[in-house]
Structure 1
Amino acid sequence: MNKVFSLFLISVLIFACKDSKTNNNLTSQKTMNITNNPLLVESTLPYGAPDFTKIDNSHFREALLKGIAEQRAAIDEIVNSTDPATFDNTVMAMEKSGFLLDRVRNVFSALTGAHTNDTLQAVQEEMAPKFSELRDAIYLNDTLFQRVKTLHDKKQSLDLDEESVKLLENYFEDFEIAGANLSQENKEILKSYNSRLATLSNTFNKTLLEANNAGAVIFTDKSDLAGLSDAELKSLEMEDGKSWKIALQNTTQQPLLQSLEKRETREKLFQAAWLRADGTAHDTKAIITEIAELRAKKGALLGFANYAEWSLQNTMAKVPENIFKLFEGLVPSATAKAGQEAKEIQEMIQKTGGDFTLAPWDWNHYAEMVRKVKYDLDENQIKPYFELKSVLEKGVFFAAEKLYGITYKARTDIPTYHKDVLVYELFEENGDPLGLFYGDFFSRPSKRGGAWMSNFVDQSKLYNKKPVIYNVCNYPKPVAGEPALLTYDEVETMFHEFGHALHGFFADQQYPSLSGTSVARDFVEFPSQFNENWALYPEILKNYARHYQTGEQIPQTLIDKIKKSGTFNQGYSLTENLAASNLDMQWHTIGSAIKIEDANAFEKEALHRTKLDVVAAVPPRYRSTYFAHIFGSGYAAGYYSYLWTEMLHHDAYNWFETHDGLNRENGQRLRDMILSRGNTLPLEKMYKDWRGSDPKIEPMLKARGLQ
C-alpha cells in the first residue's frame, strides 16, 4: 500500500470544474463495460504507461470500487490469519494490498487535476469519503496494528535489510499517528471526523475551481486592456471577437497586472481574484472554518494541543515552535525590505503623474517600472529568448545531462489525455532506460491552477517498475502559429517541477511506499527548488536562451541584468510567502474549543498579530478562501515547507559553488546520497551526510538580498 495515500498527496490533484464540453480526449462511451475495463489490467504500453486510447471516463468508478474491494479483502486476509505475524505475511502483505487501487488512482488523480469534467467530478465526490473509510479500516484496525507492533518490538531480531526495517518502522509510525492507540469509542469519532474532512476537502476543491472559472473578468472595451501586446490580446479574445476574458490564476496577484496600464482595470482584476470565493456564489468561508475546527478536534482527540502538532510528527520541523521561530527570524527583515520597496514604488507613481497611494493592484505594474529604471530590464526584452521547447530540451534536459548524464528522446507514439501534452523517454548515461516523462504546460478551464509533479507509475523493484512521471504547469497558451514564450519566473517553474521529476526518476527503492518523492513535505520541495539554480547557470543558460526568430544567443548584457535584478522585489516576495505560511499555521494551531465566527476577521487578526500586515500593499500569496494547498490538498500545517526547503536549497547550492559547480561528479554524488534514497533514511541525516554539516540560513538571506 503506497504511503502517498496516507499523506493525502493524491488529494493535491483532486480539483473539479463544470465543463460539459470537456471529454478528456478519451472515447465517448456512455456506459460501463466491466469485462473490458482497461483500468483493471496492466497496460501493455512501454513502462506500463496508461493507454488513453482505451480509457473512458466511465471506467474509473468501477475500477476504483474494485481496487477498494481488493485492498479490503487483502487486509482482511492479514487480520484473519491465525499464523504468527511475520514481515512477509503482515508488512509485505500490506505493502502489496493496494496495487490495483494505487494504479487506478494515479491515472484518476492526473485527470481530475489536469483535465477534469462533470463525470470525473461526480466520481471523485463519491469516492472521497470511501478513500477515507478505507484508510481508517486499515489504520484503526487493532488486530492489524498488534501484528505490526509485535514485529516492531522485535525488529532487531528479524534479520531484515535496512530498507525493510524502514518500511516496518514507517507502518508502525503511521498506525500510531493515525490513532491506532485510541479507544474503540474514540476511533469511531475519529472515523466520522476523517470522513467529513474528506468530503469537505473535495467540496472546497470543487467550489474553488468553479470560483476561479466564474471569476474570470470579461472586458468589452479594448482600451481597458491598454498595455497588453497584440499577442496577449489575441490569446484573451473571445469567440465573438468583441470581448476579452482574463482567467484567474490561483494566486492573489495576477500576471497581467504587471502590464495593464489603466488603474481601474487593474483594480477590477485584482478584486475579482481577491473576492473570488468570498461573498460570491462560490463562497468557501463556511467550508474552511469547518475544516479548521474539525482538524483542531481531530488533533485534540489524538492527544495534541492542535492539529499542527499532530501533523508535524514525521517532518524535519517536528513541532510548530520551530516553524514560528523560522518566521520570527525572517519577518522583520522581509517586511522592512518590502517597506523600502513600497517607498520606491510610491515615488515611481508620483514621478509618472499618479496622485494616489500604492495599493496591491498597483504593485506589480509600478515595480516593473522601477526594475526597468534600476536594472534597465524589461520582461518583454527577455521573453523572446525563452521559447518553451527550447527551455525544456536545451535547458532543463541539458542541465540534467550535465549533472546526471541522462538523455532524452521525444515519443510521439505514446497516447496522452490531451493533445498539448508532450512525452519523452529518458535514458541513463549508458543508454539504459530510465522512464517516461509527460509535460502538460498550458492552462485550460479543465485544469486546476498552479504547477505540480506526480506519477502515473511509481518506481519499485518489488514490481519491477520504472517511473512514469508528469509535470503540469499553467502557462498561457499562445494562439495558433505563435511561439510559447515564457517569463523568467515561468522558466524557473519548469526547472522546479523537473526537479521533482528527477527525485522520482532517480528513485531506487524496493518498496513503492518508500520510493522517490514519498518524503516529508518539508523535504520534498528541496530537490525541486535546488534544480531552479541551473536556470541561470552560464553553461545552461547560453545553451537554451536563444532568440526564437534569429537563433541569437541571449546577450551577456541581458544576462547581467537578470542576475543583478535577482534580489529585486524580494521583500515583497518573501512577505507574501510568509503571510500565507503564517495563515496556514494560525488556522492549524487553534484549540479544539475555538469557534471561528468570521473567517475574514480570523485572517485579519492572524496577519496583524504576526506583524505581516505592516505593509498594506503586500497581501498574502493566497487568501484563506482560495488557499488550495491547505484546505484542498496535503499541505495543511505544511505550507511553511517552501521556506524551510528554500533554506536547504540555497545551502546546497552554496556547497556546489565551493566544489567546482555543475559537473557529473557533483551531480552523481547528490543523486547517490539524496535524490535516489527516497524515504529510506532519516531526512536530517541524509542531508547532513551529503552536506557535511547542518544547513545554514545565511545563503538564503544572501540570495534574498536580506544580508
Structure 2
Amino acid sequence: MKNQTFKLTTLCLCAIGASQIAVAETAVRQTLPQFQAKDIPVLCDEKINEVKNQLKNLETLKLKQDAPAAPVLAEWDRIFASFEDFYGPIGLYSNVSPDEAVRKASDDCEIKISQFQTDILQNPKLYQQFKKLKASDAIDTKFRDDILYDFEKTGIQLPAAKQKRLKAILDELTKIEQEYARNVRDNQEKLEFTPDELKGLPQSYIDGLKKNDKGNYLLGFEYPEYRPFMELADNDDARKRYQIAFTRRGGEKNLALLKQAMDLRYELAQLFGKANYAEWVLQKRMAKTPEAVNKFLADVHATVAPLEQKEVDTLRAFKAKTLNIPLEQATIERWSEAYWSEKLRKAEYQVDQEQLRDYFPTQAAQDWLFAISSNLYGIEFKPVKVAAWQDEVEYYDVTDAKTGKLLGGLYMDKFPREGKYGHAAVWGVYGGSTLTQRKPISALVTNFNRKGLNSDELETFVHEFGHALHGILSNTRYSSQSGTSVERDFVEAPSQMYEEWARRKETLSKVADYCKPACPRVDDALITKLNAVHNYGRGLRYARQALYAQYDMALHGSDALKVQPLDVWKKMESATALGYVPTTEFPGQFGHIMGGYQVGYYGYMWSEVMALDMLSAFGNNLNNPEVGQRYRQTILSQGSQKPAQALVEDFLGRKPDNKAFFDEITGQRVK
C-alpha cells in the first residue's frame, strides 16, 4: 500500500456552527482534476492560502470549555477534505504522470504542503481550541484524540526553540525522502545484453525489448523486465550483473540521503525525550513499543532461519544433480536463487511461471477480480469514460448492488512506462465522509505484463485491489478517518487476507469464465502444484521479510548516529543463508524506509497475523457473501473510527491470536 503522502488525520480543521455544514442530498461522481505543470505552483499557493484564511476563523472562535465537538470536527474535516481535492491528485501525479515537468512540480508542491502542515500543527491557538472540545460519542472522541495527538507529535508542547528545530527537521525530511524516491523512479539507465545472454527467456519477452545499433538488447529496471530475466536467463554472469545494477539504481547519493534521514529522525526523537525514533513512532501503533516489535521479529527469525537454510540446501542439491557436478561446487548465490528456484518448480512441481500467464490473461484476471469482489461484498463496477493522466488509465464507478448507490471511484493504471512508479501500489486519493456525502477514490497502480500474469503477480493484483476496496468501501463519518487511515501495522491486513482468493481452486477456477479467447481452467492438479510451490519458498520469503524488518528497526534504534546504513546491511545480510553480494547497495533503493514505512516494515508480518486470523471466519467457503458483508461492515467500512484491535475483535468475536500465522510460516496451516 502506498499511503497518500499527506493523508493524515490532522489535515482537517476549522470550526463554525453545525448549521453551516453543507451536506449534499445526492452523491455526485467526483473525478480527479488534470493539471498543467505551469499551473501547479500557483494553484498550490492559492489552495494553501485558502485554508490559511479559513483557519483564522477557528483561532478567534469563542469556544467555552467542554464545547460540543461535533460541529468543530465536522467543519475541520470538510475544509481539509476540500483541500484534499487538490493535494490528493498532486501526491498521485508526482508518481504516475507521464510528464516529467508535472512530476517535478507536484514534488515541489508536496514540500510546500508538508511545511504548511507543520505550521498548522504548531499553532497553539488551534491546539487550545481542540483541547476545549467535549465529544458526545466514541467516534468523535477518537477523532478529537487523534487530532490532539498529531498536534503533540508535531511538537505543540515543546519550547519555541525546539519547535523551530522540529519544523526544520520535518521540512528537510520531506525533501530528502522525495529526492531519494526520485533518484530511483527517474533512473533511466539501460543495461546492454547480447542475444546469447538472453537465452532461456521466452520469445514473447525478447520481442518486447528495445535494441541498440549493435543488435544488443537494452533492459531497464522495471519489474516486467527484471523479474523474468532473473528467473529465466541461463547466463549466470548476466544475472549477476543485472542484480548488482538493480540494487544500485538509487546510486551512492541515496545512501547519503538515507544516512541524513536516520540522523534527523534520531534528533527528532531526542526533542521529545525519546530514546530513539522507533520509540517515538510506535506510540500509536498496534505494537506500541520497539521491544514488542523486536521480540516478534526475533520469534519469526528463529522460526524461519532453519527453513531458509533448508531451502537453499535443497536448491544446491538440485543444481548439483541437474549439472552433474559435486555438491560442494553447487553454490547458490543471491543472483541465482530465483533462477534455480524456477528450475526446481518446473522439475519438481511442473509449474512454469511464464506458462501460467496463459491461465491468467491480464484482462480476464481483472474481470474475474471484479466478479468475485462483487459477489463477496455486494457491489458493482461500472466503467465510465473520464479524463485521466494517461490514455490507458481506466475509471470505474463502484456502486452498491442492492441500492444502486454510488460508493466511490476506482482508477486503474496497469502497465509500465517511463517515469512511472515502478512497483504496485494504491493511492487513497480522496477519503469519504457520510456527513458531506463525499465519495472515496482509490487509484490502483501496477506494472503488469500486457499478455498475462503469473501466480505471484495475480496475488499482487488481488492484494492491491484489497487496498483499493478498503478505501472505496469505507463509510466513515469523517474523511480523515476513511479507508486505509488505520494504524500502519494493520493497514496491510485486509489486503493480505484477500490474497487467499488468488490461491484456492474455488476462486481461481473461475478465471477461465472471463477469458476471451478461451484459456485453460485451473484444476485440482494445478492447485496442488501451486500450493507446493507456495510452501517451498516459504523459508526464503519470510526470512527475507524478517531481514528487511529487522534492518528497518536497526536503523532507527539508539545507535542510529553511530552507524552507516550500508555497513549495517552488509553485516545483517551476510548472516543469512545466501549472504551478501559485494558491491550491491540494497539500502539505496529500499523505498519503504524512505516513503512512509520507516519503523513500519514489520507491519507486513504483524498485519498478516491479523489477516490469517480474520480469514478463519470464512472457513472453507471464500465466496460466502454473508461473511463478506459482515467483513465489509465491521472492517472495511469502519476506517479508523475504532482502533484496529477493536475492529478485529468485532469481526472475530474474540481477541486475535498468532497461531494461524506461525502455522503458515512453518507450512502447517490447514486450508
TM-score of the superposed pair, with normalisation by structure 2: 0.90
* 8 Å contact from structure 1 (residues 384, 548) kept in 2: no
Counterpart selection for 1:636 from 598, 603, 606: 598
Alpha-carbon distance, 1:262 to partner: 0.8
Q: Does 1:101 align with 2:48?
A: no
Specify the alignment match of 1:521 in structure 2.
Answer: 488
Counterpart selection for 1:687 from 633, 648, 652: 648
Specify the alignment match of 1:66 in structure 2.
Answer: 46
Specify the alignment match of 1:18 in structure 2.
Answer: none
Is the alpha carbon distance of 1:244 and 1:253 closer, same or farther for their aligned partners in structure 2, counting shifts above 3 Å? Answer: closer
Alpha-carbon distance, 1:7 to partner: 5.9
Q: After the TM superposition, which residues 478-493 of structure 1 pair with which residues of structure 2 at under 5 Å, given as runs? A: 478=450, 484-493=451-460
Q: Does 1:625 align with 2:601?
A: no
Counterpart selection for 2:354 from 380, 390, 393: 380
* 8 Å contact from structure 2 (residues 361, 452) kept in 1: yes
Q: Measure, in 1, the Cα distance between the counterparts of 2:229 and 2:143.
A: 47
What is the root-mean-square deviation in Å for CA atoms of aligned residues? 2.9
Letter in 2 for 1:642: Y
Is the alpha carbon distance of 1:82 and 1:642 closer, same or farther for their aligned partners in structure 2, counting shifts above 3 Å? Answer: same
Q: Measure, in 2, the Cα distance between the counterparts of 1:9 and 1:578.
A: 29
Deviation track 1:291-345 (CA, whole Å, cap 9, x = no partner) reads: 0000000011012111111111211111111111111111122121111111111
Specify the alignment match of 1:182 in structure 2.
Answer: 158
Deviation track 1:94-126 (CA, whole Å, cap 9, x = no partner) reads: 323324431111111221112253322432443
Q: After the TM superposition, which residues 317-328 of structure 1 pair with which residues of structure 2 at under 5 Å, given as runs? A: 317-328=287-298
Specify the alignment match of 1:589 in structure 2.
Answer: 557
Is the alpha carbon distance of 1:224 and 1:195 closer, same or farther for their aligned partners in structure 2, counting shifts above 3 Å? Answer: same
* 8 Å contact from structure 1 (residues 453, 470) kept in 2: yes
Q: Measure, in 2, the Cα distance between the counterparts of 1:72 and 1:572.
A: 51
Q: Measure, in 2, the Cα distance between the counterparts of 1:688 and 1:373.
A: 44
Alpha-carbon distance, 1:548 to partner: 5.8
Q: Measure, in 2, the Cα distance between the counterparts of 1:295 and 1:251.
A: 34
Alpha-carbon distance, 1:388 to partner: 0.9
Specify the alignment match of 2:421 in structure 1.
Answer: 448
Is the alpha carbon distance of 1:435 and 1:679 closer, same or farther for their aligned partners in structure 2, counting shifts above 3 Å? Answer: same
Deviation track 1:672-697 (CA, whole Å, cap 9, x = no partner) reads: 11111111112111111211222222
Specify the alignment match of 1:577 in structure 2.
Answer: 545
Is the alpha carbon distance of 1:618 and 1:318 closer, same or farther for their aligned partners in structure 2, counting shifts above 3 Å? Answer: farther
Alpha-carbon distance, 1:89 to partner: 6.6
Specify the alignment match of 1:404 in structure 2.
Answer: 377
Letter in 2 for 1:273: F
Is the alpha carbon distance of 1:606 and 1:292 closer, same or farther for their aligned partners in structure 2, counting shifts above 3 Å? Answer: farther
Q: Does 1:616 align with 2:592?
A: no
Is the alpha carbon distance of 1:311 and 1:253 closer, same or farther for their aligned partners in structure 2, counting shifts above 3 Å? Answer: farther
Is the alpha carbon distance of 1:240 and 1:467 closer, same or farther for their aligned partners in structure 2, counting shifts above 3 Å? Answer: farther
Q: Measure, in 2, the Cα distance between the counterparts of 1:503 and 1:579.
A: 28
Letter in 2 for 1:200: I
Deviation track 1:275-294 (CA, whole Å, cap 9, x = no partner) reads: 22344xxx311111010000
Letter in 1 for 2:567: A
Q: Measure, in 1, the Cα distance between the counterparts of 2:157 and 2:6.
A: 17
Letter in 1 for 2:55: I
* 8 Å contact from structure 2 (residues 393, 412) kept in 1: yes
3-state SS of 1:408 partner: strand
Alpha-carbon distance, 1:528 to partner: 0.9
Q: After the TM superposition, which residues 460-479 of structure 1 pair with which residues of structure 2 at under 5 Å, given as runs? A: 460-476=433-449, 478=450
Q: Measure, in 1, the Cα distance between the counterparts of 2:137 and 2:27.
A: 33
Alpha-carbon distance, 1:9 to partner: 11
Specify the alignment match of 2:430 in structure 1.
Answer: 457
Q: After the TM superposition, which residues 139-538 of structure 1 pair with which residues of structure 2 at under 5 Å, given as runs? A: 139-151=121-133, 155=134, 158=135, 160-211=136-187, 213-214=188-189, 216-219=190-193, 221-238=194-211, 242-249=215-222, 254-279=227-252, 283-353=253-323, 355-394=329-368, 396-411=369-384, 413-430=385-402, 431-476=404-449, 478=450, 484-538=451-505
Alpha-carbon distance, 1:661 to partner: 4.1
Specify the alignment match of 1:25 in structure 2.
Answer: none
Q: Which moved more, 1:557-566 or 1:79-88?
A: 79-88
3-state SS of 1:98 partner: helix
Is the alpha carbon distance of 1:83 and 1:407 closer, same or farther for their aligned partners in structure 2, counting shifts above 3 Å? Answer: closer
Q: Measure, in 2, the Cα distance between the counterparts of 1:251 and 1:692.
A: 42
Deviation track 1:358-408 (CA, whole Å, cap 9, x = no partner) reads: 1111101111111222222222332201011111112x1121122112122
Alpha-carbon distance, 1:524 to partner: 1.0
* 8 Å contact from structure 2 (residues 95, 103) kept in 1: no
Specify the alignment match of 1:132 in structure 2.
Answer: 114
TM-score of the superposed pair, with normalisation by structure 1: 0.85
Alpha-carbon distance, 1:163 to partner: 2.1
Q: Measure, in 1, the Cα distance between the counterparts of 2:90 and 2:279.
A: 31
Is the alpha carbon distance of 1:542 and 1:618 closer, same or farther for their aligned partners in structure 2, counting shifts above 3 Å? Answer: farther
* 8 Å contact from structure 1 (residues 382, 558) kept in 2: no
Is the alpha carbon distance of 1:604 and 1:590 closer, same or farther for their aligned partners in structure 2, counting shifts above 3 Å? Answer: farther
Letter in 2 for 1:600: L
Alpha-carbon distance, 1:577 to partner: 1.1
* Sequence identity (%): 25
Letter in 1 for 2:99: N
Letter in 1 for 2:219: I
Alpha-carbon distance, 1:8 to partner: 6.4
3-state SS of 2:29 partner: helix
Alpha-carbon distance, 1:603 to partner: 2.1
3-state SS of 2:336 partner: helix
Is the alpha carbon distance of 1:648 and 1:137 closer, same or farther for their aligned partners in structure 2, counting shifts above 3 Å? Answer: same
Letter in 1 for 2:634: M
3-state SS of 1:521 partner: coil
Specify the alignment match of 2:18 in structure 1.
Answer: none
Counterpart selection for 1:603 from 569, 578, 583: 569
Q: Measure, in 2, the Cα distance between the counterparts of 1:503 and 1:622.
A: 35
Q: Measure, in 2, the Cα distance between the counterparts of 1:238 and 1:47.
A: 45
Alpha-carbon distance, 1:471 to partner: 0.5
Q: Measure, in 1, the Cα distance between the counterparts of 2:302 and 2:581.
A: 14
3-state SS of 1:312 partner: helix
Deviation track 1:3-31 (CA, whole Å, cap 9, x = no partner) reads: 966666999xxxxxxxxxxxxxxxxxxxx
Is the alpha carbon distance of 1:361 and 1:420 closer, same or farther for their aligned partners in structure 2, counting shifts above 3 Å? Answer: same
Letter in 2 for 1:204: Y
Letter in 1 for 2:609: M
3-state SS of 2:92 partner: helix
3-state SS of 1:666 partner: helix
* 8 Å contact from structure 1 (residues 572, 618) kept in 2: no
Q: Measure, in 2, the Cα distance between the counterparts of 1:309 and 1:442.
A: 39
Q: Measure, in 1, the Cα distance between the counterparts of 2:518 and 2:335.
A: 36
* 8 Å contact from structure 1 (residues 341, 571) kept in 2: yes
* 8 Å contact from structure 2 (residues 4, 427) kept in 1: no
Q: Measure, in 2, the Cα distance between the counterparts of 1:462 and 1:503.
A: 19
* 8 Å contact from structure 2 (residues 186, 419) kept in 1: no
Aligned residues: 645
3-state SS of 1:474 partner: coil
Q: After the TM superposition, which residues 542-581 of structure 1 pair with which residues of structure 2 at under 5 Å, given as runs? A: 542-545=509-512, 549-581=517-549
Letter in 2 for 1:149: K
Q: Measure, in 2, the Cα distance between the counterparts of 1:89 and 1:554.
A: 54
Alpha-carbon distance, 1:534 to partner: 1.0
Alpha-carbon distance, 1:194 to partner: 1.0
Q: Measure, in 2, the Cα distance between the counterparts of 1:507 and 1:437.
A: 13
Alpha-carbon distance, 1:142 to partner: 1.4
Alpha-carbon distance, 1:462 to partner: 2.9
Alpha-carbon distance, 1:623 to partner: 2.3
Q: Measure, in 2, the Cα distance between the counterparts of 1:424 and 1:434.
A: 11
Deviation track 1:588-646 (CA, whole Å, cap 9, x = no partner) reads: 11357x244x43213223556xxx53442799x99211111111x11111111111111
